[in-house]
Structure 1
Amino acid sequence: MIQLKGLSKAFQTKTQTVTAVDNVSLSIDEGEIFGIIGYSGAGKSTLVRLLNKLETATSGEVTIEGESITSLKGQSLRSARQEIGMVFQHFNLLWSRTVAENIAFPLEIAKQSKQERNKRVQELVNLVGLEGREDSYPSQLSGGQKQRVGIARALANNPKVLLCDEATSALDPKTTDSILALLTDINKKLGLTIVLITHEMHVIRKICHRVAVMENGRVVEEGPVLQVFRKPQEHMTKEFVRQITEPEEDASEIVFNEEETGAVVQLKFLENKAEQPFISKVIRQFDVDVNIIQGKISQTQRGSYGSLFIRIKGSHEEIEKALDYLREEEIEAEVMEHA
């Protein structure tokens, strides 16, 4: 669906050349929600603006359904952009226009008749859950409602791709969840390809199928969300994953400051193991005691992923047998500390 090949973007300042996007190559499948995550300055927002040529690439190519966006100009580019909707962090609504008039704006530019516009606006109002607010102005709306208007406006021309640049960053957690649920619903109902830019890993966890991690303009890691959660390879990815797969309380303080014997072990397991009593099986089958220190299960689009810290007490031989059993059950077991 979307192919990025050797994509780079450099900005020239008075004193130096700053490379915001550095030789990025990615493939995004039709109908998937693809997340791009990174801290501020990683280049992710510049990257998403290259997808619809709001920024012009220094080198490389963007193709959508086989058509090169980077080579388009004038009317051809404007036509291509009608198939790429965009949702912004700060809504970018027209404050002198009502909800209905904001949603209708792209349709006016496309020179649709008033009858066609009104019909499409009402469809979109219903889709994003803004019934009864058609005549309200942005100043009369909550943050979540404003973003729903932004999403409806981005969908006005029936785009094939929806770009979301930090679409939930200005919202509180509860409103963020409602907007993410809306995007998931739109993805399923319309089969829309969504590219989502964020610095928040819980956003990736909740709705994305695959994720690319950016650092200093480069993609340092990419893959299915559940796979990246389970086995992050790069330091940056591990930082993001740790934010939501491990308990909020600092594990090291609990794990390493207790003056107790035994082995402290971190267990990592997927959804099919979350409901199985593997801890009780360990206690019954081996001469060990198990104390659960802390744990957390995180839900993703492709299933859940759990992380659990336990302390196993017993002889070295019995502890090793217990760990071997867990690994045979496809549960990752990493010994954090022996005492």
Structure 2
Amino acid sequence: MIDIQNVVKRFKSNKQEITAVDHVSLSIKKGEIFGVIGYSGAGKSTLIRMINLLETPTEGKVILDGTDLSALSTKALRQKRQKIGMIFQHFNLLWSRTVKENIMFPLEIAGVPKAKREQRAQELIRLVELDGKEDQYPSQLSGGQKQRVGIARALANDPHVLLCDEATSALDPKTTDSILDLLKEINRRLGLTIVLITHEMHVIRKICDRVAVMEGGRVVEVGDVTDIFQRPQQEITKRFVQQVTKSDEILSAAADWQVDQGWVVECRFMGEVAGKPVISQLIRQFDIEVNILQGKISRLKDSSYGTLVIQVTGEEAEIKRAIGHLKSLGVGVEVLAS
């Protein structure tokens, strides 16, 4: 669907050359929700803007549906862009136009007859659940409602791809979840390929199938979200996972635990094993005692992810056998103190 081939983007600033994106290659499948996560300055916004050539790559290619976008004429690129919708952090709505008029605007530019513009706008208003708001202006809407207008407008030309540039960063947590649920439903109903960038692992956890982690203009890790949560490889990826699992809080609390009386172990559960009575089985099977110190279960897009911190006491050899058993069940295990 989308093939990003060794793209580089350099900017000149104060006679200096800055490399914002540094030889990035990604392949995004048709119909998936693909996330790109990184801190400010990682290059993720520049990367997503190169997918529709709002930024032209200094080097490399962006291929959409088999077409090299950089090889297109201005007219052909404009037509191709009609099949790439985009939503933004700060909505970018036309404040002098109503909800319906904002949604119809891309169709007006594309030369669609008024009757069809009206019909399409009403379909999209129902899709994003803004019934009754069509004649209101952006200033009369909440942040979440404004973003729903932005989503409807981005869908006006029936695009194949939807790009989301920090689309929930300006929203409160409850509204963020409602927008993410809407994007997930749009992906399910329309089969739309969604590419989103964010600095929040909660967003990745909730709706993405796969994720690429960016740092310093490069992609340092990429994979299925479940694999990234269970086995993060890079330090920056581990920090992002900790946004959701709160391992940093666990470690900071370790000083309060009586580690001299046993081992403190963090267990990470993914999928089916998250719902099984693993700890009770462990106590029955091995000559150890287990004290639960802290735990949390989170939902990924299509599965569960849980963390549990336990204090295990007993003979060292028996503790090691118990840990080995947990690993054999597919539980991620990290010894925090022993």
Same fold at TM > 0.5: yes
4+ residue runs of structure 1 moved beyond 3 angstroms? none
Pick which of 86-95 and 12-21 moved more: 12-21
| Residue 325 of structure 2 corresponds to residue 328 of structure 1 | no
- Residue 81 (structure 2) pairs with residue 81 (structure 1): yes
- Rounded Cα–Cα distance in structure 1 between residues aligned with 2:324 and 2:219: 36
Unaligned runs of 5+ in 1: none
1:69-218 map, 5 Å: 69-218=69-218
1:185-264 to 2 correspondences below 5 Å: 185-246=185-246, 250-259=249-258, 260-264=260-264
Q: Could you say what secondary structure the match of 1:323 adopts? A: helix
Counterpart contact for 2:230–2:332, Cα < 8 Å: no
Q: State the alpha-carbon separation in 2 of the partners of residues 73 and 90 from structure 1.
A: 30
CA–CA distance in structure 2, aligned partners of residues 287 and 308 of structure 1: 20
- The alpha carbon displacement at 1:336 in A equals 1.8
Letter in 1 for 2:30: E
Partner AA of 1:327 in structure 2: K
1:266-300 deviations in Å (ceiling 9; x for gaps): 11121211221111111112221101111222211
TM-score, normalised with respect to structure 1: 0.97
2: distance between equivalents of 1:171 and 1:333?
35
> What TM-score do you get using the length of structure 2 for normalisation?
0.97
Unmatched tracts of structure 2, length 5 or more: none
Between the aligned partners of 2:54 and 2:332, the Cα distance in structure 1 is 44
Q: How far apart, in 1, do the equivalents of 2:328 and 2:76 lie?
A: 57
Per-residue Cα deviation, 1:159-181 (whole angstroms, up to 9, x for no partner): 00000000000000000000000
Letter in 2 for 1:129: E
Deviation, structure 1 residue 228: 0.6
Q: Is the 8 A contact 1:267 1:333 kept in 2?
A: yes
Amino acid at match of 1:271: G
What per-residue deviation string (whole Å, max 9, x for no partner) do you get for residues 26-74 of structure 1? 0000000000000010000011111111111101000110011122231
Residue number in structure 1 paired with 2:35 = 35
Sequence identity percentage: 59
The residue number in structure 2 matching 1:60 is: 60
* Cα contact 2:3–2:27 (8 A) shared by 1: yes
- 2:272 is paired with a residue whose SS is helix
Q: Which residue of 2 aligns with 1:299?
A: 299
Displacement of 1:328 in angstroms is: 2.1
- C-alpha RMSD of the superposition: 1.1
